[in-house]
Chain A
Amino acid sequence: MPEVALLKIHNLACVRDDRVLFEHLSLSLCREQMLLVEGHNGSGKTSLLRILTGLKMADEGEIYWHETAISESDSNYYERVIYVGHHDGVKRELTCLENLRLVQAMGNPSAIDLDDALEQVNLYRYGDTPVSNLSAGQRRRLALARLVVTEADLWILDEPYTSLDKVSMVLFQTMFEMHLKQGGIIVMTSHHDIDMPAVDVQRLDLSL
């Protein structure tokens, strides 16, 4: 497969309260590549990810998806990206299944049956349980289930392993490897050690 950069970051800068978090940041990501953003607390990891989703404006620079700036209206970027941030983005008053149906209605539904999707994230039989009755780790798994029930090329994940136990961490690591193998791209931050030898990982340390 020819190495075509799908996602390009050009000369990106982010300033917060007169502190420069990062500047002159340029990099490009091809299919099957993962970008691991590292850095100490407050180094701008989340800001970088939110800029990548377009939720936050960059102070300088531009992001290109298929050679089109994501801010342009003819970019299909938002149909091709899934973001899982610090907040789980699930409604406590709704059941797991209702939450997943909403995720599908708002995004690009994949062909998977929702019960199978719940099984994949170890939440089988929790379908009709209101989210308020789930533990923090289970809520996190439900938030990550949006990776299963919708389709996208680019996954932007902010600390996906927060409050997950070891079994679930392995589970999602396998899922990430699968996604990359199928030609996807992942951008993520994590305080946990990422041990994925089979994967082409670019590391970006923002504390430097």
Chain B
Amino acid sequence: MYNGWIFHCDLFDMKRYSLTQAFLFLLKRDLTLSFRNRAEFANPLLFFILVITLFPLAIGAEPALLSRIAPGIIWVAALLAAMLSLDSIFRSDFDDGSLEQLLLSAHPMPVLVLAKVAAHWLVTGLPLLLVSPVLAVMLGMPSEAQGTLLLTILIGTPILSLIGSIGVALTVGLPKGGIILSLLILPLYVPVLIFASSAIEGAAGGLDVSAQLYMLLSFLFLAVSLSPLATASALKMSMG
């Protein structure tokens, strides 16, 4: 179970690690940690699947209605699943003191933050991308819309992780930060939700949805470039 191979590094030459190496190392370390805590990280995915499978049971077998509200269901579930998993980005590192060691690292903190958020997305966001086609078929989503669904999830879930990391960084020092975290983050998630579900709905109706997708992409670039800076400063404040 303890797979040491993940950590073996051929580039080991006793000099300071380059920034890229440090980034990849931290990414690998976080992926190893989540692999060893599989149960905890399977939780958001399970939640996502459960919520979506419960909708047809509650609403009843009305294919027309289901296929119309499918984009909304999938995206609301993805958003809640992301919120459920956010705390794990920094919580355990904060509790055992690894986070203060990262802050004291010789490498710039925003890059290390980006590595941690990337690992978080690979573990919690990517699985949603893999299961959502099946769930879309189950909800009877028109096949024209399914490609767009995947695109929005591919572009949208990293935004959720990136924005969420700012909120977690701000609340990680508080004993009961969970509620504040939701209040803080949810309003920032709403634009993603609106553009993503509107893109899928448009695609289902045969419309051109490139405007919404470009909008989402611009959110993504904005989040990638700015949120690690905000998260790093917020973490410093949480430590004080």
Give B1's nearest chain A residue, CB to CB: A130
For B97, give its contact among A56, A87, A130 (CB under 8 Å). Answer: A87
- A69-113 CB mask vs B (1 if < 8 Å, else 0) is 000000000110111011111111111011001111111111100
Q: How far is the CA of A207 from the CA of B33 in the complex (A)?
A: 42
Give A79's nearest chain B residue, CB to CB: B106
Distance (whole angstroms) from the CB of A62 to the closest CB of chain B: 16
For B96, give its contact among A79, A82, A90 (CB under 8 Å). Answer: A90
- The verdict on A55 contacting chain B, using a C-beta distance below 8 Å, is yes
Contact yes or no, B22 A89, CB < 8 A: no
Q: How far is the CA of A51 from the CA of B9 in the complex (A)?
A: 35
Q: How far is the CA of A54 from the CA of B237 in the complex (A)?
A: 11
Contact yes or no, B239 A94, CB < 8 A: no
Give A51's nearest chain B residue, CB to CB: B240
Majority secondary structure, B binding face: helix
Contact yes or no, A128 B105, CB < 8 A: no
- The verdict on B25 contacting chain A, using a C-beta distance below 8 Å, is yes
Distance (whole angstroms) from the CB of B76 to the closest CB of chain A: 32
The number of residue pairs between A and B whose CB atoms lie closer than 8 Å in the complex comes to 96
Q: How far is the CA of A78 from the CA of B103 in the complex (A)?
A: 9
For A88, give its contact among B29, B33, B96, B103 (CB under 8 Å). Answer: B96
- The verdict on A53 contacting chain B, using a C-beta distance below 8 Å, is yes
Distance (whole angstroms) from the CB of A200 to the closest CB of chain B: 26
- Residues of chain B within 8 A (CB-CB) of A85 are 97, 100
Q: How far is the CA of A98 from the CA of B37 in the complex (A)?
A: 16
Residues of A within 8 A of B (CB): 50, 53-57, 78-79, 81-83, 85-95, 97-98, 101-111, 128, 130, 146
Residues of B within 8 A of A (CB): 2, 4, 7, 9, 14-17, 21-22, 25-26, 29, 32-33, 36-37, 92, 95-98, 100-107, 112, 236, 239-240
Can you pick out 22 interface pairs between chain A and chain B where the beta carbons lie within 8 Å of each other? A54-B104, A78-B105, A81-B104, A83-B104, A87-B95, A89-B96, A89-B98, A89-B100, A90-B98, A93-B32, A93-B36, A94-B29, A95-B2, A95-B4, A98-B4, A101-B9, A103-B101, A106-B22, A106-B106, A109-B14, A130-B2, A146-B101
